[in-house]
Amino acid sequence: MELLYFAVPIGIAVGAAFIAAFVWAARSGQFDDLDGPAHRAIHPEFPAVSPLTPPAESTPAPASIAQ
């Protein structure tokens, strides 16, 4: 029984830490571009787009992608 007085607050604290880390990651843009890194692994010339920079007006696609 005494173990519960220790384990329950520790479990709640760990859960709150995971929720806080998820909220921080979501607000900082960690989940904005989920497909870009996968495409860049296969096609290194795939343009890296940051969610903080506006898109270019007329950026042509790389030759290997624009078939």
Note the pTM of the prediction, 2 decimals: 0.52
Indicate the pLDDT class of residue 35, thresholds 50, 70 and 90: confident
Res 53 pLDDT > 60? no
Res 67 pLDDT > 90? no
Whole-angstrom Cα distance, residue 31 to residue 8?
31
Across 35-64, average pLDDT = 64
Closest CA to 33 of 17, 19, 13, 47: 47
Across 15-25, average pLDDT = 96
Highest mean pLDDT among 13-17, 36-40, 63-67: 13-17
H helix or E strand, kind and range, residue 27: helix 2-27
